[in-house]
Amino acid sequence: MTAAAHALSPNRRKRNLDASPPPRHFHGPQSHSRLRQRLLRWPLLPPPPETKRPAFDMWNFISGLFGGRRPKDNGLEVFKRWCGALSRDLTVVTDEETGTTKLLLDRRVKDSRKAALEAVKPPQRQKTEPYYLKAHEEARRNDGRLEEIGIEVRLKEEKLAEIRKSDKAAQEDLSELFKPLTEEEKNEVHDCFHARGPSSKVLVLHEWSNIEVSKEKFQCLRPCRWLNDEVINLYLELLKEREKREPKRFLKCHFFNTFFYKKLACGKSGYDYKSVKRWTTHKKLGYGLIECDKIFVPVHKDVHWCLAIINMKENTFQYLDSLGGTDHNVLNMLARYIAEEVKDKSNKVIDTSSWHEEIVDGIPLQQNGWDCGMFMLKYIDFHSRGLSLSFSQEHMEYFRERTAKEILNLRAD
């Protein structure tokens, strides 16, 4: 073929010498955000799987974390980090058929596109401080005497609170609450803690509640161990029987077991009254909750025990945490529950919106990572007597032995 014919051929492929290479395909921020999510994803700090065993030795585990040396804080900081990690903003996804927990979803937004939209939002208008606060601050700066008066008032208030507390403690007879165990009782407890034999051997059977405590379950009352549901629930049953024996000596209380709050909060929206509606029928209890002075609700947060109290006599909701924490969601859920419960069982309407939420300050606090369950039981014990919480961390070893003795005797003193 000649050059002219070749130039005129219709099938000849033309080449554009000035054309630039085709642009690379842009996949958008999606692929980049996926990689970023993988890199930035930070897992929760769950407790070790060994903690699920009732006989788990908490002290040996925490000692191992510090290279075999005794930690200065008895593992309290490790315990607080567990509680803090597990209290993040998480959504619990449950199986609709079985109601069991499947997984946890982190609510944090990690999509870069959403982050970009948030970045271009106009700044929100900042709230200005009220004028009276500015005027008060200016007056305080101009007159130094105001600050001195404020300090004097606070000091006198603190001194008055201490005097009232000491007067109340002086009027209370606490001798029975700290009565030492006899040598025979100590030996009995020691034998149950250290005796040989199968761990499945049943040491105690409470016939009315059908709660049995095996040797393995009983070990949780030894020092440096977490209390389990069986021991806590059996002790609460003994407190119920104690009140029935001596109704004039103790307040009229209701003691929910450790499974009540879990059941109440297991609904899709976080609240399910129907699941616990039959727990408090008059046929089962012989009374209505509206007749009680106080209602105790144990709250278990994965690795930590807390206590919520519905004070029917003073129209308050109290929250006691031996780590000094707060949880308004628990109190809000119980406020909704008691209003619905009284309406259903007593056909009465109570307005819980006027009740006070009391995050109790000045309560005894734990100084280690394993006594939260025992603190919760003693909160209940003292409150059911109408006494102030006159104990501390140094009494926990004695309370463990005393609780073990009472469970073995199936009688709370």
Q: Which residues are catalytic?
A: 304, 321, 372
Q: What is the DSSP string of 230-246?
A: HHHHHHHHHHHHHHHH-
Integer Cα distance of 332 and 297 in angstroms: 13
CB 292 within 8 A of CB 254: yes
Bridge partners of residue 206, in order along the sequence: 211
- Amino acid identity of 42? W
- Amino acid identity of 135? A
Rounded to the nearest 5 degrees, what angle is found at the Cα of 330, between the Cα atoms of 325 and 335? 135
CB atoms within 10 A of CB 180: 10
Integer Cα distance of 130 and 34 in angstroms: 46
CA dist list (Å): 170 to 166, 167, 173, 174, 315 = 6, 5, 8, 9, 27
User: Measured in whole angstroms, how far is the alpha carbon of residue 71 from the centre of its chain?
Assistant: 24
How buried is 90 (Cβ within 10 angstroms: 0-12 exposed, 13-18 middle, 19+ buried)?
Answer: middle
Integer Cα distance of 120 and 46 in angstroms: 37
User: Measured in whole angstroms, how far is the alpha carbon of residue 188 from the centre of its chain?
Assistant: 34
CA dist list (Å): 316 to 287, 327, 338 = 21, 15, 12
Q: Which helix (H) or strand (E) holds 185?
A: helix 183-194
> Collapsing DSSP states into helix, strand and coil, what is residue 408?
helix
Give Rg (Cα) of the chain.
Answer: 31
Alpha helices in 195-228 (DSSP H): 215-218
Q: Which residues contact 266 (CB under 8 A, 6 or more apart)?
A: 94, 99, 272, 275
Integer Cα distance of 107 and 88 in angstroms: 9
